Structure 1
């Protein structure tokens, strides 16, 4: 779908979406269109329950004498209260409506009402961003899809002001990163495994990102025994990918991102139940988000030094697989008693986080992982879990998440929980003796390998995959965390 920008004017063809504020208040463009249609818009509203409330829609077949296919009235809520999320949702909903109706060309006309002050360029850019985000599809393996289920919208014009194109550029870069992440997370495990995911990361070189891939020999040489322990059950060898974007001041410490990349997780010897195991193709979502984020930062030429490390393994049961009760030595030198091979994400993050902080000395480090099912029990599918050793970093992350609609909820870390992973025969064990506070225990384990760097752990297990369409996210991979981290960088680390 091509997105164009134009000044506020009604199109001469295709479908048209108009904003209506609560109380059935038409904008100037809406009043003009109502007059041109002989009052059809007002009559349609009066004959329906449409009030102009947020997220409401009313579709009107264009009457004779108007060179349009249909007119969609979009509830914009109370005048003066529209924000970025509202315009994004509006853009996504309109794009979905145009596709559902079979339109090939459509226009969203954005203008204000008397007494309302709004930045039309920002509003138009957000609507375009929402439309682009909602337009995502992962259909590369479909060969028999019915024509009526395929998207039809080829061109969407946002009619507000031509200057919106410049404002939209940075958002388009973020959308590019989101689409990359969604593609990676959607791929099946037979296609996406450590080597091919590393190859996908290498494609970021075209965007100006420096990419280094560590193979199994290099990983072993570094002493990443925790990561190797997870990988040895699979015929697919592990990889660690290091990505650097140097857009900030020379010599300035980077902000670091670390991603869990278990390309398929059977649970290993502690094997998972068969029901739902197919979802474990997206146990690499943390790595997927980190890779997509680096694309977004590079394509919008972010003025920041950023480094990303993703640990890539496949967790499989076999004759060579790690056993419950095994003891491995991590890169930090700490020994780990592996009591459950299905608690593998924290093992690979132990080595990845230690490597990242030891090599790059970042000013802050954030890891993302689909780490625990317990976080889904605690928070469901609307919030990700936030754990941190630094209040300032935690507050910044929560604020960034709120501003983009990727909500976080902070949970505690404390000595009480930390003592529960003391091992009788090694330095630490990878699970506690009981199932209580499972997400906290996972975070507590990772914290032992961050070496007092300002750090945060985002447990995204509940928010990585959506079972239904939302305003700007189709059913499937969400790329949750990417927009949040991009906003964090823009607000607190870029150009500072």
Structure 2
């Protein structure tokens, strides 16, 4: 779906959506007296009060072209409205007009904040997502292909909105990846799909198991040894800042394409949802796509470790001891604590090869995070206060919110092992914290943040901007983080 900003309605659409704060604003929308009289009559008859998010549908206009008018209220405190408020309204526009081919939107002239206007357009695109590719009947595809938004700043808005169009492409790409079944999106197929993104200017490398074994990445490779599907490590490069000696920022994602739990097998109830255990990697891929499509002026590396965690005679077992790429040894106490094993080698590889300015990893890492924060906010762990503050700020702006949890030596002791340098799971509570402490042991002196998106990658409450199981959480967050703090 496309969003276009125009100075005025050149042609009356079949459907017009008015976003207004009060009845007196109707005189500025450019409708003729006949239409205004009919709209005013409907408002009065239905007791419409222009409250925030209050919506009225008017079908009584007698016009050859104009069939339906919607009005969405903004309330009487428009200066207090956030970009996210407008994003949600954009989603509602699509939700209510998705069976039309075109919708025209007229916004109250009091609203002259370009960011808010663009977020309305962005929300309308987000709300158009669907994943019906495997349905053969009983589904309805959106017909809406164009939303036209009237604004005096249409030239600048069309230019600046390209960023939001790129972000939405990244979010949709991430949602598609997470929604795909694992018999379609297994590690090698996933890597092949990522390689197609070269057309957008990304440089992409793929390491198979033989190359990873040569690099002594036994922690990552060990997770997938029970699967018939070969594990992969994919490295994406975006070089948007041509300045010399510029360190890249690095995003690392957990990509467990299906997680049965391995020998420590999961309960069968909802195991099918473990196709989404690669949500962290999807966020990284989506963010890298967004940066490339909008030609972001930054050097960024995206690394995703892609594996399947399956039970088999060759599978890793509780009690096994492995040596990671870092040289540190790990006692496997639970094969269902596998995501941290994937990230351990991926993080070490990232800092050893690229010496980045900072690292951020994203992972659907722990069920404990779902218990802690539910499905609305992701957990943040970091060794750097400034990096944490930037991510919290970017989360508030993007809507992909994060909340910081502690890291300290007392929690770190909980993953010490009798037989190896560490074990891959703590004992008792604080499961999200001990998982983050495990990851920190594979981070040297580089600013690092870990985002546990176990609750936010899938299954968030349905909203006007997302009715999908997969959310694409993290894409907008990372793009905003880059735009706000690191583009040169």
**What's the TM-score bracket when you normalise by the shorter of the two chains?**
over 0.9
Matches of 2:430 and 2:425, distance apart in 1 = 11
1:129 is aligned to 2:126: no
Summarize the Cα distance change of 1:420–1:467 in structure 2 as closer, same or farther, 3 Å threshold: closer
* Structure 1 equivalent of residue 321 of structure 2: 327
Q: Under a length normalisation based on structure 1, what TM-score does the superposition of the two structures give?
A: 0.94
Q: Under a length normalisation based on structure 2, what TM-score does the superposition of the two structures give?
A: 0.96
Matches of 1:468 and 1:396, distance apart in 2 = 26
Matches of 1:62 and 1:168, distance apart in 2 = 34
Answer yes or no: is the 8 Å Cα contact 2:256–2:308 preserved in 1: yes
1:132 Cα offset (Å): 0.9
Matches of 1:256 and 1:177, distance apart in 2 = 17
Partner SS state of residue 80, structure 2 = coil
1:47 Cα offset (Å): 3.1
Answer yes or no: is the 8 Å Cα contact 1:19–1:26 preserved in 2: no
1:468 Cα offset (Å): 4.4
Matches of 1:246 and 1:12, distance apart in 2 = 44
Partner SS state of residue 477, structure 1 = coil
* Structure 2 equivalent of residue 98 of structure 1: 97
1:240 is aligned to 2:240: no
Answer yes or no: is the 8 Å Cα contact 1:62–1:68 preserved in 2: no
Unmatched runs of 5 consecutive residues or more in structure 1: none
Deviations 1:141-185 (A, max 9, x none): 111135xx3322233212224312112111111111111111111
Matches of 1:70 and 1:431, distance apart in 2 = 58
* Structure 2 equivalent of residue 399 of structure 1: 393
1:440 Cα offset (Å): 0.4
Matches of 2:88 and 2:10, distance apart in 1 = 21
1:154 is aligned to 2:138: no
Summarize the Cα distance change of 1:34–1:447 in structure 2 as closer, same or farther, 3 Å threshold: farther
Answer yes or no: is the 8 Å Cα contact 1:14–1:69 preserved in 2: yes
Partner SS state of residue 79, structure 2 = coil
Summarize the Cα distance change of 1:117–1:130 in structure 2 as closer, same or farther, 3 Å threshold: closer
**Count of aligned positions:** 484
Partner SS state of residue 280, structure 1 = helix
Matches of 2:32 and 2:83, distance apart in 1 = 27
1:406 Cα offset (Å): 1.0
Answer yes or no: is the 8 Å Cα contact 1:124–1:159 preserved in 2: no
Partner SS state of residue 453, structure 1 = coil
* Structure 2 equivalent of residue 361 of structure 1: 355
1:86 is aligned to 2:92: no
Root mean square deviation of aligned Cα: 1.7
Deviations 1:293-327 (A, max 9, x none): 11100111111110111101000001100001110
Q: How does 1:257-296 map to 2 (within 5 A)?
A: 257-296=251-290
* Structure 2 equivalent of residue 4 of structure 1: 4
Q: How does 1:84-483 map to 2 (within 5 A)?
A: 84-99=83-98, 102-112=99-109, 116=110, 118-119=112-113, 121-146=114-139, 149-161=140-152, 162-163=154-155, 164-248=157-241, 249-434=243-428, 436-466=429-459, 468-483=461-476
Unmatched runs of 5 consecutive residues or more in structure 2: none
Matches of 1:154 and 1:104, distance apart in 2 = 5
Partner SS state of residue 484, structure 1 = helix
Partner SS state of residue 473, structure 2 = coil
Matches of 1:400 and 1:2, distance apart in 2 = 25
Answer yes or no: is the 8 Å Cα contact 2:25–2:108 preserved in 1: no
Matches of 1:159 and 1:262, distance apart in 2 = 44
1:491 is aligned to 2:484: yes
Deviations 1:308-367 (A, max 9, x none): 111010000011000011100000000000100000000110000011011111111000
Deviations 1:174-204 (A, max 9, x none): 1111111111111001000110111111112
Partner SS state of residue 419, structure 2 = coil
Answer yes or no: is the 8 Å Cα contact 2:460–2:471 preserved in 1: no
1:487 Cα offset (Å): 0.6
1:39 Cα offset (Å): 2.6
Partner SS state of residue 311, structure 2 = coil
Q: Which segment is superposed worse, 56-65 or 312-321?
A: 56-65
